[in-house]
Amino acid sequence: MQILQQLINGLSLGSIYALLALGYTMVYGIIKLINFAHGDVYMLGAFWGYFMINKFHMSFWPALITAMIFCAIAGVIIEFLAYRPLRDSPRIVVLITAIGVSFLLENGMSYLFSSSPRDFPQVMDVQRYHLGSVSISNIQILILLTSIILMILLQLIVKRTRMGKAMRAVSVDPEAAQLIGINVDHTISFTFALGSALAGAAGVMIGLYYNSIDPLMGMTPGIKAFVAAVLGGIGLIPGAALGGFVIGIIETVVQALGFSAFRDAAVYAILIIILIVRPAGILGKTTREKV
Amino acid sequence: MLLEVQDLSVNYGVIQAVKGVSFNVNAGEIVTLIGANGAGKSTILHTISGLIRPKSGKIMYDGTEIQKEKSQKIVASGISQVPEGRHIFPGLTVLENLQMGAYLRKDREQTKKDYQTVFERFPVLAERKNQDAATLSGGEQQMLAMGRALMAAPKLILLDEPSMGLAPIFINEIFDIIQAIQKNGTTVLLIEQNAAKALAIADRGYVLSVGKIVLSGTGKALLANKDVQKAYLGG
């Protein structure tokens, strides 16, 4: 039963990582950039939620949805100002820029709102449901369900809509996409908007879950979500979701076994093992398509 | 004149790949550009499609200058390209690839009919409609790339080395299809290394060498030309 309990805790944490990992993987898929500022967009989402609930007395859903919209806009602006001018630059230049954007957001937010942690307003009373020795809170259920709904929505957008198909076309062959009349820049903006909206949702939900937010809160989850994306197979949307859940579960299990101090180390150890054993990730194909 | 290229020069990196090239394509024609690797043929097509900006010169299409337009606008105005190496979208199904070809179209009814036309012309695509495009053979991928370009309902189709790397049986089929496309009223600008086959179906042709046009004439005349035979037809 202990294992089942950890599985539940791991799934709710994992769904946060999964939402974040999706943003990493979509952006990587389309412009081959590891967007290290992605974790900070999640932080922005948490702060937006904090202010909306505290100052404007919003309830959870409006706070979540406006945070998603706010982060989508923030993501598009970041891409437009920081990455688009570097479209034809070597990848390492863009990568370093992403790290710069990350520092800017972290330190800018620390400057504006101080770096000390704040209590995230509890918009709903925590209730725990017990099934035998397993307990699950309403917030855990909320996180899990919201994440799954968002992932299904994302999948529908990517698979069914015109813009989603354009995303897939640009990510496999930008030049051919241009030749059939796809506006590559718009498609990239759209990708950033989608990924950042998911990060915003994750930020608000983690605020609710852990009760505490601060300007550096995006660093570690950002890197873990990146590990999740690599674990599942970078560039693959189902891979990111799977990787996120796996990382969340591993982390909680390691913690439950009494190795709390090593839970981050365990995640990074997995990254190293994956890179050695299966660099393309769990769902990644190692073979290339016919040319 | 549907397409008129005037004194076009294009740099490719530091190399001047196209040096003052002029040629034209009349509505309803098949015009071919032949020449060795590196003669600048693909660069010209990329410039027409708006992927590269020329250093100087003009490209007139249907009476308007298009050399500064974005590729979306060029596709929307009726020029589609089948790129060298096919460049189909792996991971998307055959049908999705065709849908992407119609990306900019708004005339739903006509688009629906055009799927039928493409499937009739390329029955193999209808058979494999729901298969991942990456699983097609080289020849089938070429047909998909052509079908995708046709789904944009172009007035002018640019074909970049459509026979490259294909089995002989497919090569003949591809050239038959190009003629069928012309019969259907679409103008064709064809780039080929297989000069003999290209000139045989072309109304007119231009011979490019190191970024310049060195010879032009009807397909038949160029086929009979001694220099052309020597340089490009292995004769």
Mean pLDDT of all residues belonging to chain A: 93
Instruction: Find the closest chain A residue to B137 by CA distance.
Output: A290
Which residue in B72, B87, B96 is closest to A181 by CB distance?
B72
Q: By C-alpha distance, which of A42, A47, A44, A25 is closest to A34?
A: A25
For chain B positions 132-171, those within 8 Å of chain A (CB to CB) are 134-138, 141, 148-149, 152
Q: Does B53 touch chain A (CB under 8 A)?
A: no
Q: How buried is A147 (Cβ within 10 angstroms: 0-12 exposed, 13-18 middle, 19+ buried)? A: buried
Residues of B in contact with A166 (CB under 8 A): 100, 103
Residue of B nearest to A171 (CA): B89
Query: Token digits for A120?
Result: 């995230």
CA distance B122 to chain A (A): 19
Q: Tell me what pLDDT residue A1 has.
A: 59
- pLDDT in the model for residue A290: 44
User: How high is the mean pLDDT of chain B?
Assistant: 94
- pLDDT for the residue B232: 82
Which chain B residues are within 8 Å of A162, Cβ to Cβ?
A: 103
- Is the pLDDT score of A285 beyond 80? no
DSSP character at residue B21? E
B207 secondary structure, DSSP code: E
pLDDT digits (tens, 9 = 90+) for A50-80: 999 999 999 999 999 999 999 999 999 999 9
Q: How many residues does chain A have?
A: 291
Beta-bridge partners for A132: none
Q: Mapping DSSP to helix (H, G, I), strand (E, B) and coil, where does residue B85 land?
A: coil
| Joined tokens for residue B78 | 């009726």
CA atoms within 13 A on the CB side of A102: 20
Enumerate the β-bridge partners of residue B204: B31, B218
Tokens of A262: 């090593």
Could you give the CA distance from residue B103 to residue B97 in angstroms, rounded to a whole number?
A: 10
Choose among A165, A175, A179: nearest Cβ to B99: A165
Instruction: Report CB contact under 8 Å: A180, B80.
Output: yes
Q: Establish how many alpha carbons lie within 13 A of residue A279's alpha carbon, considering only the half-sphere containing its beta carbon.
A: 3
Structure confidence by residue, pLDDT tens digits, B119-166: 999 999 999 999 999 999 999 999 999 999 999 999 999 999 999 989
Q: What is the pLDDT of residue A175?
A: 94
Angle, in degrees to the nearest 10, between helices A162-172 and B94-101: 100
What pLDDT is stored for residue A289 in this prediction? 44
Residues 6+ apart with CB under 8 A from B141: A290, B86, B88, B133
Report percent pLDDT > 90 for chain A: 84
pLDDT score of B158: 98
Q: What's the rounded mean pLDDT across residues B174-202?
A: 95
Which strands form B212-218's sheet, in the order they lie side by side?
B79-82, B156-160, B187-192, B30-34, B204-209, B212-218
Give the pLDDT score at A291: 41
Report which residue type is found at B225: N
Residue B153's CB is within 10 A of a number of other CB atoms, namely 18
Mean pLDDT computed over A175-201: 97
Tell me the per-residue pLDDT of A108-130, one tens digit each, with 9 for 90 and over: 999 999 999 999 998 888 899 99
What is the model's pLDDT at position B15?
86
Three-state SS annotation for chain A: CHHHHHHHHHHHHHHHHHHHHHHHHHHHHHHCCCCCCHHHHHHHHHHHHHHHHHHHCCCHHHHHHHHHHHHHHHHHHHHHHHHHHHCCCCHHHHHHHHHHHHHHHHHHHHHHHCCCCEECCCCCCCCEEEECCEEEEHHHHHHHHHHHHHHHHHHHHHHHCHHHHHHHHHHHCHHHHHHCCCCHHHHHHHHHHHHHHHHHHHHHHHHHHHCEECCCCCHHHHHHHHHHHHHHCCCCHHHHHHHHHHHHHHHHHHHHCCCHHHHHHHHHHHHHHHHHHCCCCCCCCCCCCCC
State how far residue A103 is from chain B, nearest Cα, in angstroms: 35
Going along chain B from its start, the domains and CATH numbers come out as 3-229 (3.40.50.300)
Domain boundaries, chain A: 14-218
CA atoms within 13 A on the CB side of A168: 24
CA separation, residue B229 to residues B137, B195, B207, B232 (Å)? 32, 9, 12, 6
Single-letter amino acid code for the residue at A162 = R
Span A131-150, mean pLDDT? Answer: 93
**Residue numbers in A near B83 (CB within 8 A):** 175-176, 179
B68: burial class by Cβ within 10 Å (0-12, 13-18, 19+)?
exposed
Q: Which residues of B touch A182 (CB under 8 A)?
A: 72, 100, 103
Q: How many residues does chain B have?
A: 235
What CA dihedral angle connects B100, B105, B110 and B116, to 10 degrees?
-10
ipTM score for this prediction: 0.91
pLDDT band at B13 (very low <50, low <70, confident <90, very high): confident
The share of chain A scoring above pLDDT 70, in percent, equals: 98
B44 φ/ψ angles, rounded to the nearest 5 degrees:
-60, -45
Instruction: Please return the burial class of A286, using the count of CB atoms within 10 Å of its CB with bins 0-12, 13-18 and 19+.
Output: exposed
Contact state of A180 with B138 under an 8 Å Cβ cutoff: no
pLDDT at B70 over 60: yes
Q: List A residues 150-189 in contact with B (Cβ-Cβ < 8 A).
A: 162, 165-166, 168-169, 172-173, 175-183
Check residue A287 and give its pLDDT. 53
Contacts of A141 (CB under 8 A, 6+ apart): none
A180, A187, A289, A291: best to mutate for the B interface, most B CBs within 10 A: A180
Q: Do B141 and A290 touch (CB under 8 A)?
A: yes
Confidence class for position A140, pLDDT limits 50, 70, 90: very high
Residues in B touching A289 (Cβ below 8 Å): 90-91, 134
Amino acid letter for position B133: A
Q: Which residues of B touch A290 (CB under 8 A)?
A: 134-138, 141
